């Protein structure tokens, strides 16, 4: 049974960056205004996330890694209107099946922090023969999650992910995109032991400032704002798109739908072909898009590792995005 659970968990959490995405979304759900990420060996050896969010109640600690345990879904009707990122209650459970996971957490009204260790969906003693009770310890308000030895329980997966530099790049990509989008939250991302962080965005910096930090001044200065709201189809978006061709080898898309980092093939393809046809050189677009769609129109039942989402009236939304960018490109080039 344990093997089956581990394989299922390995399909939900299939690489360090995708564990990070789930953990970041939990920290954001917890109202964090500061999130620090620490990484060893591309996250394979260790992945740590510290936030200053509302923390986890001590009595909930024994349960948080059980499957379908979530504090974000009180009644069934919430499913259609859920605003938070995660609702499945599967992320921590899956991570606990594929790593050695510990959680240290403190709520503001608690006198001390508590630490718990997890394996295969359950709270376990810190040392063999010890107690399963969360242990009181010193700590700041908020939560620290540490996942060690990722995929120790799935040797084939571990072998497949031996390029730690590639895994770190993916971690950095997820971290920096969430940092750019969440301008109310300070983010850092560092390799543990490195003299300085690779990513450090302060709380309250604008999105364009964050983009400049991560992608450089040249790209940031080529960006123009777009904005659109359509009452009839119940969606709206704003964003920043490149207006001039710049030396990028590939397109860059930072696409958020209802504040979740997603992929969307039809939007990408439509925007890429717009740039090819409108701008002089073979231009690669840089696109940051914050798209909000009425939650009941978004299909939330996609597999967690599939970043691709579906929503109603896709064609109209894609057309509106292309049209809005097109107008902007025409007016900024004249």
**Is position 62 an interface residue for ligand ADP (rule: CB under 6 A)?**
no
Q: 67-72: which pairs have CB atoms within 8 A and are 24 or more residues apart?
A: 67/93, 67/121, 68/93, 69/93, 72/29
Q: Which of 53, 134, 139, 239 binds ligand ADP (CB under 6 A)?
A: 53
**Is position 92 an interface residue for ligand ADP (rule: CB under 6 A)?**
yes
- Judged by CB, which is closer to ligand ADP: 9, or 207? 9
- Shortest separation between residue 225's beta carbon and ligand ADP, angstroms: 32
- Shortest separation between residue 84's beta carbon and ligand ADP, angstroms: 7
- Selection from ligand ADP, Mg ion, none that 56 binds (CB < 5 to 8 A by kind) is ligand ADP
DSSP reduced 3-state for 20: helix
- Shortest separation between residue 158's beta carbon and ligand ADP, angstroms: 22
**Is position 55 an interface residue for ligand ADP (rule: CB under 6 A)?**
yes
**Is position 52 an interface residue for Mg ion (rule: CB under 5 A)?**
no
- Judged by CB, which is closer to Mg ion: 83, or 163? 83
Q: Which of 91, 185, 240, 274 binds Mg ion (CB under 5 A)?
A: 91
- Shortest separation between residue 279's beta carbon and ligand ADP, angstroms: 41
DSSP reduced 3-state for 24: helix
- Judged by CB, which is closer to ligand ADP: 56, or 267? 56
DSSP reduced 3-state for 277: helix
- The vertex-35 CA angle with 150 and 215, nearest 5°, equals 90
Residues 6+ apart with CB under 8 A from 50: 35, 36, 38, 142, 143, 144
Q: What spatial distance separates the first Cα and last Cα of the chain, rounded to whole Å?
A: 65
Contact region for Mg ion (CB under 5 A) — 24-32, 155-163, 255-263, 268-276? 24-32
Strand segments (E) across the chain:
34-40, 46-51, 100-106, 113-119, 122-124, 135-137, 142-148, 186-191, 199-201, 223-230, 235-242, 252-257, 260-261, 286-293, 298-299, 310-311
> On the CB side of 38, how many CA atoms lie within 13 Å of its CA?
14
**Is position 87 an interface residue for ligand ADP (rule: CB under 6 A)?**
yes
Residues 24-43: x where in contact with ligand ADP by CB under 6 A, - otherwise, as a string: --xx--x-------------
- Number of residues this chain uses to bind Mg ion (CB under 5 A): 3
- CA 232 vs CA 221, 294, 313, 316, 319: distances in Å: 34, 11, 11, 11, 14
- Selection from ligand ADP, Mg ion, none that 55 binds (CB < 5 to 8 A by kind) is ligand ADP
CA–CA distance, 171 with 156 (Å, rounded to integer): 21
**Is position 88 an interface residue for ligand ADP (rule: CB under 6 A)?**
yes
**Is position 22 an interface residue for ligand ADP (rule: CB under 6 A)?**
yes
- Judged by CB, which is closer to Mg ion: 28, or 180? 28
Q: Which of 43, 86, 139, 285 binds ligand ADP (CB under 6 A)?
A: 86
Give bridge partners of residue 256 from the DSSP assignment: 261, 290
Residues that bind Mg ion (CB under 5 A): 26, 86, 91
By CB under 6 A, name the binding residues for ligand ADP: 22, 26-27, 30, 51, 53-56, 64, 69-72, 86-93, 143
């Amino acid at each position: 049974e344990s093997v089956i659970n581990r394989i299922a968990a390995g399909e939900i959490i299939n690489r360090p960056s995708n564990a990070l995405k789930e953990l970041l979304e939990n920290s954001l759900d917890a109202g964090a205004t500061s999130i620090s990420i620490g990484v060893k060996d591309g996250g394979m050896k260790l992945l740590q996330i510290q936030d200053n969010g509302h923390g986890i109640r001590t009595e909930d600690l024994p349960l948080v890694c059980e499957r379908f345990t979530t504090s974000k879904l009180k009644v069934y009707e919430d499913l259609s209107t859920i605003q938070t990122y995660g609702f499945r209650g599967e992320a921590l459970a899956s991570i606990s099946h594929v790593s050695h996971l510990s959680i240290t957490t403190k709520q503001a009204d608690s006198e001390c922090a508590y630490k718990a260790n997890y394996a295969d969906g359950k709270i376990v003693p810190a040392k063999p023969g010890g107690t399963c009770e969360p242990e009181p310890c010193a700590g700041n308000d908020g939560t620290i999650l540490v996942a060690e030895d990722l995929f120790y329980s799935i040797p084939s997966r571990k072998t497949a992910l031996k390029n730690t530099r590639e895994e770190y790049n993916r971690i950095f990509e997820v971290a920096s995109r969430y940092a750019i989008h969440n301008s109310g939250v300070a983010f850092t991302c560092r390799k543990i032991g490195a003299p300085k962080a690779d990513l450090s965005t302060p709380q309250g910096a604008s999105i364009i400032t964050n983009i400049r930090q991560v992608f450089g001044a040249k790209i940031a200065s080529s960006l123009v704002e777009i904005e659109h709201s359509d009452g009839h189809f119940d969606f709206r978006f704003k964003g920043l798109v490149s207006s001039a061709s710049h030396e990028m080898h590939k397109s860059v898309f930072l696409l958020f739908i209802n504040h979740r980092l997603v992929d969307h093939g039809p939007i990408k393809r439509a925007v890429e072909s717009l740039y090819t046809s409108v701008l002089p050189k073979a231009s690669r677009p840089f696109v940051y898009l914050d798209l909000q769609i009425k939650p009941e129109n978004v299909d939330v039942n996609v597999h967690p590792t599939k970043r691709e989402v579906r929503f109603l009236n896709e064609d109209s939304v894609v057309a509106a995005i292309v049209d809005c960018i097109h107008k902007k490109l025409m007016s900024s080039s004249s």
